[in-house]
Chain A
Amino acid sequence: METIRTDVAILGAGGAGLRAAIALAEANPGLRIALISKVYPMRSHTCAAEGGAAGVIKSDDSLEHHFNDTVGGGDWLCDQDAVDYLVQEAPKELIQLEHWGCPWSREPDGSVAVRPFGGMKKQRTWFAADKSGFHILHTLFQTSLQFPSIQRYDEYYATDLIVDDGRCQGFTAIEMRSGQMKFFQAGAVIVASGGAGRMFPFTTNGAIKTGDGMALAYRAGVPLKDMEFVQYHPTGLPNTGTLLTEACRGEGGILLNKSGRRFLQDYGMGPETPVGKPVLKTMELGPRDRVSQAFWHEQKKGNMVSTRWGDCMLLDMRHLGEKKINERLPLVRDMAVSYLGVDPVTDPVPVRPVVHYMMGGIDTDISAATPLPGLFAAGECACVSINGANRLGSNSLTELLVFGRRAALSAAAYLGAGVGAANDAALAARATEAQARLRELFERTGGTETIAGLRKEMMATMEEHAGIYRSGEGLKQACATLADLRRRYAAIELHDKTNVYNTDLLQALELGAMLDCAEAVTVSALARTESRGAHQRLDFTARDDAKFLRHTLALYRPEGAPAIDYRDVVITRSPPGVRDYSGEQK
């Protein structure tokens, strides 16, 4: 097996991975940086983020407001020291992107424009029309091309972290075009591999979001933190799950039930605000978890519009007019027309909540370090946690910039402090073990299970039992099903036993990652007998700060369900309070 020696190996070349690579190249041009991804960087799912990135820049706003919106939005499960770091660094990172050429939308005087977003007290979302993530990703990718020390390895799928001497020293990966396994031997590893929304059947996430990096870290003994917190975005196209950004509502779009009532006023987010004049932090600008939950209740009451794709609410943007829609929401219009045949200029668009984002992920501290020396993580795959129990819209793009850079600085400092000499023989032995595991899967015959079959069962279970509302009974069943699916996974057999660009193999490995992540979600959710943010239990409806102002830590066990442990939330100055999104609050 070929060994590729590098100082830092970054797994994932989306927003967080690219930001980390650039920060390393700038910090020390002598560092060898390997940027490894299963796709070309511009295919990474950062490109699909639409609305924008939060950072305080306007004079009526303050870091304190951003802190409070984030902590309250996260239902007090955020680590407040980390949130402080996020809000302080956010404006700098967004200006840095501007200096790198990001085409942010502008005010008439040439300064950067901001737009309102859900759960935010002030307007602080920087945006580039409704393709903000796309522009951030391409700006980072293009900027990265000027650094010769960033060596890219596109279309490599990582299979195992290589740990020896108590520290992470690289990973094995399959080069897709040859099918050969390589060992990336590195002083430090940064995982920036994105989320795992594909565990669910109905998601805004692209096909590549399969929790690969999360599973790698988890199997290497790093806890997955707060995995039970899965965000539903309230407004997805009902047939494809395609995201219609929160900016639809930020710009003034309203949500209606089948009688034309703006039903959010009946769920603690009223009173009704004037149509087309959105008021921050109330009604349609309530936080994502509350809006999605309100949908669920209205659906139970039979108040939703029934469509061939299931019950929907209506997102009405007609009053914005064609000019504003074209200028601010061109992608939204294109998507709704193309995929649903509904033009938001002339008709309300049927939408329903859709799985969007994992608040949980690889356990890291405020410096983006995991408990495993030499391993760092940033972006959606990581849980710092600044998102708590419910991420505020437009904090994720900011997070991947701030903590992508932070992971790079931490990795550089870790290397600078000196790591011990590598035991080449021990590393080679570990890499060979990884290769043997892969070969066993590759050559297995007599398998009785199919990838598509197991994947379908996993998705159905997650949708049924780990959705917007959960119950102990349902979660128990989901845990049992997932344990069974993990067992049956050992009996899959590949149909494709060739080497070049073998997507049958790729999908098998992705399924293995998703099953591990899915089990961490359901076991963590079953253990959290309270309701907080995006984790709502029908059998434990109240938030329980005495017992659960703590992060869940799921610890991998090769046989059987993960062990669950807890760690206290870092509270510095904002004690748990009431999340008030009624219009009377201010």
Chain B
Amino acid sequence: MSQRQIELEVLRYNPETDTEPHFQRYSVLCEDEWVVLDALNHVKATIDPTLSYRWSCHMAVCGSCGMMINGEPKLSCKAFLRDYEGVIRVEPLAHFPIQRDLVTVIDDFVTKLRRVKPYLIPKEEKSIEAGEYLQTPAELKKYKQYTLCINCMLCYAACPEYGLVPKFIGPAAISLAHRYNQDSRDGGREARQQEIAATEGVWECSFVGACSEVCPEHVDPAGALQQVKIKSTIDWYQEHLMPWRNK
């Protein structure tokens, strides 16, 4: 098993003892197959127990361990050391306040998630005894991709709009609203529209597409945003040019 000496440059910040964030260097002997998270765990266990970060599954599904790695938002459990040369710089996710070291405050995202009503608002009520709603594989496919979001917030860290306009609801939350809007069982689009078609909703997006590039699950939030924009535009025309259709 081959090993490699890795230099990590990790952003440290403890609000109780530091006036501002600073970088700390760690030199770590790593297995060549390790991910950045393995290196951090090694630091925590053997060099510096005070280093704080979030992680759990180590299989890119719990969404805990998003960080900036050499300036790019990544899941540290899927950022392979073999893909990096030289010093690896690890920082907390951009655009979120730092709580401590690599741990960010994510209240804003959690609040926005709730705002878009990310749950099924059934088109027609059905009792449990009446069994499942039928949904063909083609109908499932229409929204399936948007169910894959793990709420890792890499897209928020990548989104230049969110950096500039923090009230922007943002890629993941809008994708999730779109996911339910596209579900054949759902009838809640109108209720969600109030949030996502508002000024801080979809219209803040300038379609840079960075969200889709960094998404570890290939959810394509940018695609969802564009679809929401098109549908909202159609709504506008229907409302203003064909008002009789609303009645």
Task: Check B113 for interface membership: any CB of A closer than 8 A.
Answer: yes
Known: A45-B62, A207-B58. A106 touches B103 (CB 8 A): no
Partner of B137, one of A106, A134, A452, A507: A106
List chain B residues, Cβ under 8 A from A334.
60
Residue of A nearest to B118 (CB): A142
Task: Check B190 for interface membership: any CB of A closer than 8 A.
Answer: no
Q: Is the CB of A500 within 8 A of B15?
A: yes
Contact with A along B98-124 (1 / 0, CB 8 A): 011101011000100110011110100
Q: Can you list 12 A-B contacts (CB < 8 A)?
A: A39-B64, A40-B64, A43-B64, A48-B61, A95-B131, A99-B132, A101-B119, A142-B119, A142-B176, A243-B59, A451-B49, A501-B99
Task: Check A503 for interface membership: any CB of B closer than 8 A.
Answer: yes
List chain B residues, Cβ under 8 A from A143.
119-120
Q: How far is the CA of A311 from the CA of B78 in the complex (A)?
A: 25
List chain B residues, Cβ under 8 A from A451.
49
Residues of B within 8 A of A (CB): 1, 14-17, 33, 44-46, 48-64, 78, 80, 99-101, 103, 105-106, 110, 113-114, 117-120, 122, 126, 128, 131-137, 139-140, 143-144, 147-148, 150-151, 176, 180, 183, 185-186
List chain A residues, Cβ under 8 A from B61.
47-48, 131, 134, 331
Partner of A101, one of B48, B54, B185: B185
Smallest CB separation, A78 vs chain B (Å) = 25
Q: Is the CB of B49 within 8 A of A496?
A: yes
Known: A42-B62, A48-B61, A95-B128. A100 touches B120 (CB 8 A): yes
List chain B residues, Cβ under 8 A from A206.
56-58, 62
Task: Check A259 for interface membership: any CB of B closer than 8 A.
Answer: no
Partner of A108, one of B52, B118, B137: B137
Known: A145-B119, A177-B99. A496 touches B50 (CB 8 A): yes
Q: Is the CB of A92 within 8 A of B128?
A: yes
List chain A residues, Cβ under 8 A from B99.
177, 500-501
Task: Check A528 for interface membership: any CB of B closer than 8 A.
Answer: no
Task: Check A502 for interface membership: any CB of B closer than 8 A.
Answer: yes
Q: How far is the CA of A498 from the CA of B126 in the complex (A)?
A: 52
Q: How far is the CA of A496 from the CA of B105 in the complex (A)?
A: 20
Residue of B nearest to A237 (CB): B59
Task: Check A109 for interface membership: any CB of B closer than 8 A.
Answer: yes
Residue of A nearest to B113 (CB): A145
Partner of A146, one of B55, B119, B151, B183: B119
List chain A residues, Cβ under 8 A from B132.
95, 98-99, 104, 111-112
Q: Is the CB of A47 within 8 A of B62?
A: yes
Q: Is the CB of A106 within 8 A of B49?
A: no
Q: Is the CB of B45 within 8 A of A452?
A: yes
- Besides the contacts A40-B64, A95-B128, A208-B56, what 9 more A-B pairs have beta carbons closer than 8 Å? A42-B63, A43-B54, A48-B59, A48-B61, A105-B140, A146-B119, A207-B55, A503-B44, A507-B49
Task: Check A110 for interface membership: any CB of B closer than 8 A.
Answer: yes
Smallest CB separation, A193 vs chain B (Å) = 14
Q: Is the CB of B110 within 8 A of A40?
A: yes
Task: Check A326 for interface membership: any CB of B closer than 8 A.
Answer: no
List chain B residues, Cβ under 8 A from A574.
none
Q: How far is the CA of A109 from the CA of B50 in the complex (A)?
A: 56
Known: A135-B147, A145-B118. A98 touches B133 (CB 8 A): yes
Residue of A nearest to B13 (CB): A500
The 3 closest A-B pairs by CB, nearest first: A110-B134, A101-B120, A206-B56
Q: How far is the CA of A101 from the CA of B134 in the complex (A)?
A: 12
Q: Is the CB of A138 within 8 A of B120?
A: no
List chain A residues, Cβ under 8 A from B100.
500-501
Known: A48-B61, A142-B118. A239 touches B33 (CB 8 A): yes
Smallest CB separation, A288 vs chain B (Å) = 19
Residues of A within 8 A of B (CB): 39-40, 42-45, 47-48, 92, 95-96, 98-101, 103-112, 131, 134-135, 138, 142-143, 145-146, 154, 177, 206-208, 239-240, 242-243, 308, 331, 334-335, 338-339, 341, 450-452, 494-496, 498-504, 507
Smallest CB separation, A106 vs chain B (Å) = 5
Partner of A103, one of B48, B54, B136, B140: B140
Q: How far is the CA of A341 from the CA of B132 in the complex (A)?
A: 40
List chain B residues, Cβ under 8 A from A452.
44-46, 49
Smallest CB separation, B148 vs chain A (Å) = 8
Q: Is the CB of A504 within 8 A of B49?
A: yes
Interface centre among B61, B63, B80 (most CB of A within 10 A): B61
Q: Is the CB of B49 within 8 A of A498?
A: no
Q: How far is the CA of A235 from the CA of B166 in the complex (A)?
A: 44
List chain B residues, Cβ under 8 A from A242.
58-59
Q: Is the CB of B144 within 8 A of A103?
A: yes
Interface centre among B119, B139, B180 (most CB of A within 10 A): B119
List chain B residues, Cβ under 8 A from A92.
128
Known: A48-B62, A500-B15. A134 touches B150 (CB 8 A): yes
Known: A108-B137, A138-B147, A495-B50. A43 touches B63 (CB 8 A): yes
List chain A residues, Cβ under 8 A from B105.
177
Q: Is the CB of B133 within 8 A of A99?
A: yes
List chain B residues, Cβ under 8 A from A99.
120, 122, 126, 128, 132-133, 185
Smallest CB separation, A319 vs chain B (Å) = 23
List chain B residues, Cβ under 8 A from A105.
137, 140
List chain A residues, Cβ under 8 A from B148.
131
Q: How far is the CA of A452 from the CA of B43 in the complex (A)?
A: 11
Q: How far is the CA of A242 from the CA of B38 in the complex (A)?
A: 14
List chain B residues, Cβ under 8 A from A499.
16
Q: Is the CB of B62 within 8 A of A502?
A: no
Partner of B56, one of A43, A101, A110: A43
Smallest CB separation, A444 vs chain B (Å) = 14
Q: How far is the CA of A45 from the CA of B56 in the complex (A)?
A: 8
Smallest CB separation, B97 vs chain A (Å) = 11
Q: How far is the CA of A452 from the CA of B132 in the complex (A)?
A: 49
Q: How far is the CA of A134 from the CA of B60 in the complex (A)?
A: 11
List chain B residues, Cβ under 8 A from A39.
54, 56, 64
Q: Is the CB of A503 within 8 A of B52?
A: yes
Smallest CB separation, A5 vs chain B (Å) = 23
Q: Is the CB of A498 within 8 A of B16?
A: yes
Smallest CB separation, B124 vs chain A (Å) = 11
Q: Is the CB of A498 within 8 A of B59?
A: no
Q: How far is the CA of A477 from the CA of B225 in the complex (A)?
A: 60
List chain B residues, Cβ under 8 A from A308.
1
Q: How far is the CA of A96 from the CA of B147 in the complex (A)?
A: 18
Partner of B17, one of A45, A98, A494, A498: A498
List chain B residues, Cβ under 8 A from A112.
132
Residue of B nearest to A94 (CB): B132
